[in-house]
Amino acid sequence: MTRRLVVLMVGLVAATLVIAGLGTLVLANVRARADTETNLREQAFNTAANVALFFDESDGEELTEDQQRQRLRNLTLLRRVVDLDGFAVLAVSTDGAIEADQLPAGVDETMLDIESLQQGRLVSGHDGDLVHAAAPFDLPQGRTGVIVLSQEANAGLGPAARYFVLAAIASALLALLAAILVGRRVTQPIRAASAATTRIAAGELDTRLPTPSGRAGEELVELSRHVNEMAESLERARALEQQFLLSVSHDLRTPLTSIRGYAEAISDGAGDPARAAAVISSEARRLERLVADLLDLAKLQASSFSLHLEPVDLGQLAAVAVEGFEPDAAERGLMIRAIGGDAPLPVSADHDRLGQVAANLIENAMKYATTGVVVRASLERSAVGNWAVMTVADDGQGIDPADLPHVFERLYVARRRPARHESSSGLGLAIVKQLVEAMHGRVSVTSAIGEGTTFEVRLPLVD
């Protein structure tokens, strides 16, 4: 990539110099032709005026042969002192013809507008870089003479051209040096990012890139930042996956150990069969809940589950969920109550899945509560729409601020353990988030250490 960048930058500089040089040359030639033509017209006019004096018949008599010869000799001397490429003095015949062989080199009869010259007007033009100008003057017997001047237009780029070439070479060398430096600066972070992603793909998730110097928002800075964020996310995901596997393994091993122990006791004829059967049934239900939660979470994340959306009264559903947990709460010495729900709060939701959301939140709150859980259903109006809101609050120890952003992650284990160590899959809150968002709602949590935690579910109100 560095080589291609060097070639590109040097090529751009070279192309720019060529275009600038050609443009300068063209413009200089155009200007030189215009200036040369202006000068030739002025010289032709002045020369014609002076030449006309040589043939002036002030006494009304024709010039003698000696006089004409002398004046032609003077004109010959004039040709020698004029610094021009071409100089000619011609006479126009009565039929408009001139002696074409006397014209300066490079100028032919077609370039001269004889009719305009006979009418006393100057004529000028150019053929390539050769510029010519013609001016008329009066000859004896009413004839017309013509002074024809020619000059090669000189753009004056002789020494300047050499300087331009030297400047072009210096510019190309500077461009080459700049391209090499810039190429290394640009490609080095890219090569480092490529090597880092290769190591990350090989499993070295602790790989990190140094942040290149530059302002936030620049592409290379953002590239390094995104690669580091990706590595951190993957490393964290792997750690959480291992933690999840350990947690699930523990949750599976514990009931299986109990089931096996009581089964062996029954087989040996020891212990109370009725109690063993009750424990085996309880542990089996625990395993069933764990497997069901795992299947639900897998379906939710794979978007392979289906929802049967229908009008559901959120307040009534919350009240029914609270009633279902009242015996369990009384057994644990907790108070649970529902507030609100007097007015209908219709939402579009899957009744069973929304009931699962309420049950998971209440069950989670009861694990952390000190004295009780409060479930509240209410209506919230706003400029962007009306919402049915269900909150589940406990008066437990609260959630650590560092854990708060991660409570809905399926593999995250909080620093603070629940007050009650009831059997649970630890997947309930992750399932809550997936289900609520699938029903076009939002779920959030607020907490304060020592004051408790409140989960809030918001669903759009329907008519």
**Residue 148 predicted with pLDDT over 80:** yes
Mean per-residue pLDDT for 72-98?
68
SS3 (DSSP) at 206: coil
SS3 (DSSP) at 146: strand
**Residue 202 predicted with pLDDT over 60:** yes
| 8 Å CB contact between 149 and 36 | no
pLDDT confidence of residue 303: 59
d(CA 133, CA 146): 10
d(CA 388, CA 452): 23
Q: What are 172-186's pLDDT values in tens digits?
A: 788 778 777 777 777
Q: What are 377-409's pLDDT values in tens digits?
A: 999 888 778 999 999 999 999 988 888 888 887
Q: What are 276-312's pLDDT values in tens digits?
A: 888 788 778 777 777 777 777 676 666 556 788 999 9
Structural domain 2-158, CATH architecture: 2-Layer Sandwich (3.30)
SS3 (DSSP) at 394: strand
Average pLDDT, the chain: 79
**Residue 266 predicted with pLDDT over 90:** no
SS3 (DSSP) at 454: strand
Q: How confident is the model at residue 58 (pLDDT cuts 50, 70, 90)?
A: very low
Domain covering 205-305 in this structure, CATH number: 1.10.287.130
Residue 59 amino acid letter: D
How much is the CA Rg of the chain, to the nearest whole Å? 51
What residues does 147 pair with on adjacent strands?
Answer: 89, 135
Region class of 391: left (phi > 0), else alpha (psi between -120 and 50), else beta:
beta
Domain covering 306-460 in this structure, CATH number: 3.30.565.10
Mean per-residue pLDDT for 143-152?
83
Q: What are the extents of the domains in the chain?
A: 2-158, 205-305, 306-460
Percent of the chain with pLDDT over 90: 16
**Residue 454 predicted with pLDDT over 90:** yes
**Residue 416 predicted with pLDDT over 70:** no
Q: How confident is the model at residue 250 (pLDDT cuts 50, 70, 90)?
A: low
d(CA 176, CA 252): 67
From 45-49, 65-69, 90-94, 226-230, the region with the lowest mean pLDDT: 65-69
- In 10 A of CB 352, how many CB atoms? 10
pLDDT confidence of residue 349: 93
From 52-61, 86-95, 122-131, 159-168, the region with the lowest mean pLDDT: 52-61
Mean per-residue pLDDT for 249-261?
76
